Every structure is written in structure tokens, then in C-alpha cells.
Structure 1
Amino acid sequence: MVSLSVGIMLSTAFLHALPEAFESQADTHGLFALLLGSLLGFFLLEKFAILRHSHHHEGDGHHHAHGHDAREAGKSGWMILVGDGMHNFTDGILIAAAFLANPQLGIVTGLAIIAHEIPQEIGDFIVLLNAGFTRRRAYMYNLISSLMAVVGGVLGYYTLESASNLIPYVLVIASSGFIYIAVSDLMPQMQRRATMRETIPQIILISIGVLIVLFLTGQQHSH
């Protein structure tokens, strides 16, 4: 899923969303500046999240009252839910903007987000279990957090429809998110598997991701 996500996300950004944005009537220099600013913004957001989530572990030499670690783990679980809910809300807006720009672009953007979200949601579920949530609660809260994408999609559809000039800028932000996630998060994970036996399936799955986007893009041009 990680390898497939890389192929889909980078192809969606470079072959579909960014061309759609730059072929619009929006200012080219403004779009490039937004692309740069968004990439740096995602970097800072990730830095902030890492700093906020860092906390001590048992046996690290710090002395705290009994039950402190359980409370801290619970806090980190709630922070992840809030952050993931906001992330999903934003994803919904991005999908809405993509569909308003072009239905095929909406499909590949949704596909790119789904490909990334499946492993991420599984990871969040495991983190919630480690934070002390029961399986039932972790599943329910994760589901509620995921449904924020629907809220963002509906709101984005009716908001951006009346402000279509904002769509190219939203597409650039979406592309920068795809590029940043693929390059800073997913690809480093793939680099840890350095043997040829592990590398070949990665290359194949990245290629499949690219071909999926190319196929959908080709379908669009043929219509």
C-alpha cells in the first residue's frame, strides 16, 4: 500500500492536479509561491506535531506519580483523533475542489487519498489501542474522525462552487500535500527495505500507481 500510494500520489500531483491548476486563469507566480509555502507549511506542521507528541517513557529517569504514563498515552490518543479529524476534513475539501475542477481529477484525487489513508488509519487504530482505548472505542472514534471527510466534502462543494476562482489554489495545496507525504514520509519507509527482493515489488507497485493515474487521465482526454 505504501508503494502504491507513492505512485498514485506523485502522479496525481504532477500529471493531473498541478497541470489543471496551472492551465487555469490563476497567476502562475502566485501558484508557484503557494506550492513552496505549502510544502514548508506541511514541514512546520509535522515538526509541531512531533514536538507535541513527544513524551517520556517508563524507565527514562523521570519521576512521575503513579498512572502518569497512562494519562499521557490517553492524551496522545485524543490528540491524534483531533489532528486526524482536521486532516480528514481538509481531505474532503480537496476532493470537492478536484471534482469541481474536473470529475476525472476528483476520482484520482480521491483514489490517492484513499491509498494513503488506509495504512494511516490502521496505524492510528493501533496507536489508540496503545493509548488505552478499547477496540470498540478505538474503532468508533476512528470512524467518527474519518467521517469528517464527508463534512469537509459537502462544505467544500457548496463553498467552492460559488468561488470557483479558488479551486486552482486548493489544487496546488492538495498537490503539495501529496508531494510532501510521498517524499518525506512514504519513500523513507521504502528505503529501509534495501534488498533487491524487496525493491522489485516496490518498483512494480509504484509503476501500477502511475499507470492507474495515466489510464484515468487518458480516459479524460479521450472524452
Structure 2
Amino acid sequence: MSELNVELSETERSFGLRQIPAGHARMLVIGRCLPQPIGEVWNALTDPARIGAYFAEPQGDFRRGGDYELPGFSRGTILRCDPPRLLTVSWMPAHGNGGELEIHLADENGATRVELLYASVRKRFAVMDPEVNEWAAGPGWEFFLDNLSAHLDGREVRPTDRDWQSMEGTDRELYEARNTEWVRVREEFEREHSPLPSPE
């Protein structure tokens, strides 16, 4: 199996539907296992300085009901926080279409299963639009998990201050291969759940 196929196989991908405060939403689900214990993964996902080391350092009131901002990415409210297993935040990116990010952690014999759920009322948020520079949510959140994993392993993280069209080499190849997988998963889901609700 090629290195690219190995990287693609490390992630489980699926779609769902979810009701969020912004309305009826499509939801992508990303599953991955990390070798670190659950407490270490939770700390890396919730400590502002550690988040800044591999993504962007959040600012705000870090408690349930508090508002936060991830400069350059999003702002929102901390909706649920149940250490070390569940974190849910509203997610309002610059384009203004409301979403919700939820991360579940589960202990698996000393390792950690991460399940990232991202729901959005935006119609075409999951896969890339060739005419738009914005990160697509499917491959984009996978790169977030790549950086989380690299941070936990003590490896170099990828830069986050770029759009997908500026990617080159193996990073670009991986992004496009992941996007292809998300297109396939979305098409399968839509065949089973057509028609999907659309924002007005």
C-alpha cells in the first residue's frame, strides 16, 4: 500500500444531519485513533497555548457559555465541556454561515479515539470549490487532526496561514485525495438521504 493510501486509511469519514442553532445542517464526521492517553489529547485540545502551537491560539472566556475567538478562523461560544470526553462550540467563520464543532474523545486501551463532528448550514462546505480559496471542511479538518497528532508526537506541524490553492507537492496531493474521498462519501450519503435540507 502506498504512503498516500496509508494516510487516507487512517481516517474514517461519514456524513449525517444535525439540528444546530443556525438551522438544519449537514454534518461531517471524522474518526481517527491517536496513541496518546485521553488526558494528554484533551489537554492539547483545550489549553490555549497548546492550541496555538499547532493551529491558532484562542482568546476569550474559556468556560461553558463563554465566548471565544480564533483569530483568522472563527468566533463562537463554548456550548458544552465535559472533560476529558466532550467539547462543543458554535463556529462562526469569516464568511458568516453558522456551524457547530463537536469533539468526542474515548479511551481505547490507553490510546484515544477522536471523533470530530462539524455541522454547517452552508450548502457546499465539505468539499473544495475550484473557484474558491477557502479550505473545504472535510480535508481541512483532517489537516487539523494531522497537526494535533504532529504536536502530540513532537513533530513539525504544517502552516495554517495558507489557502489550499497555495499547497504544493505531497501536501497538495494529500488534500486533493482526501477531497476525492469526501466527494465519494457525500454522494453515497445523498443517494440514501435525498433530498437534503438546504438553507434558505
Shorter chain as denominator, the TM-score bin is under 0.3
Greater strand proportion: 2
TM-score, structure 2 length as denominator?
0.28
TM-score, structure 1 length as denominator?
0.25
